[in-house]
Amino acid sequence: MTLVVVVIDISEKTDDFVRSGLPAWKIFVDYYGGFIPRIDAMLFPLFVFISVIFFTAKMADRTEIVAILSSGVSFRRFLFPYWLGGTFLSLLLWFSYHFVLPNANARWSNFEAKYIPSSLDYARGFLPRNYYFRIDSSTYAGIRYFDTALKTGGNFFVQRFTNNKLVYNLRSDNIAWDTAKKNWLLNGVVERFFVGEKEELKRSPVKSIQYNFKPRDLRKDEFLKDRLSTKELNDVIQLEKLRGTEGISSLLVERYNRDAIPVSVLILTMIGAILSSKKVRGGSGFHLATGVMLSVLYILFSRFSLVFATKGDFPPLLAAWIPNIIFGLLTFYFYKRAAR
Q: For 310-332, write each residue's pLDDT tens digit.
A: 777 788 999 899 999 999 999 99
Q: Could you tell me if 110 and 134 lie in one domain?
A: no
Separation between Cα atoms, residue 275 and residue 269, nearest integer Å:
10
Determine the structural domain holding residue 194 and report its residue range: 128-219
Confidence of residue 117 (pLDDT cuts 50, 70, 90): low
Confidence of residue 125 (pLDDT cuts 50, 70, 90): very low
Q: Is residue 164 part of a domain?
A: yes
DSSP 8-class letter at 31:
I
Q: Could you tell me if 97 and 132 lie in one domain?
A: no
Q: Is residue 273 part of a domain?
A: yes
Q: Among residues of the chain, what percentage have pLDDT more than 90?
A: 36
pLDDT at 44 over 90: yes
Domain termination residue (choose one: 173, 204, 219)? 219
pLDDT at 139 over 50: yes
Q: Could you tell me if 139 and 211 lie in one domain?
A: yes
Handedness of CA 99, 260, 253, 112 (dihedral sign): positive
Q: Residue 130: which region, alpha, beta or left (left: phi > 0; alpha: psi -120 to 50)?
A: left
For residue 117, what are the CA distances in angstroms to 7, 20, 32, 218, 327? 20, 10, 17, 22, 40
Domain termination residue (choose one: 219, 238, 265)? 219
* 116 φ/ψ angles, rounded to the nearest 5 degrees: -95, 120
Q: How many folded domains does the chain comprise?
A: 2
Q: Could you tell me if 209 and 183 lie in one domain?
A: yes
Q: Could you tell me if 205 and 143 lie in one domain?
A: yes
Q: Could you tell me if 143 and 106 lie in one domain?
A: no
Q: Could you tell me if 107 and 138 lie in one domain?
A: no
pLDDT at 309 over 60: yes
Q: Is residue 167 part of a domain?
A: yes
Q: Could you tell me if 104 and 150 lie in one domain?
A: no
Domain termination residue (choose one: 219, 237, 259)? 219
Q: Could you tell me if 192 and 156 lie in one domain?
A: yes
Q: Could you tell me if 141 and 60 lie in one domain?
A: no
Q: Could you tell me if 83 and 139 lie in one domain?
A: no
At 224 the pLDDT is 75
Q: Is residue 87 part of a domain?
A: yes
Separation between Cα atoms, residue 300 and residue 304, nearest integer Å:
6
pLDDT at 251 over 90: no
Q: Is residue 6 part of a domain?
A: no
Separation between Cα atoms, residue 73 and residue 83, nearest integer Å:
16
Q: Is residue 39 part of a domain?
A: no
Total-model pTM? 0.76
Q: Is residue 204 part of a domain?
A: yes
Instruction: State the average pLDDT for the chain.
Output: 85
Q: Is residue 323 part of a domain?
A: yes
Separation between Cα atoms, residue 77 and residue 89, nearest integer Å:
19
pLDDT at 6 over 50: yes
Q: Could you tell me if 325 and 182 lie in one domain?
A: no
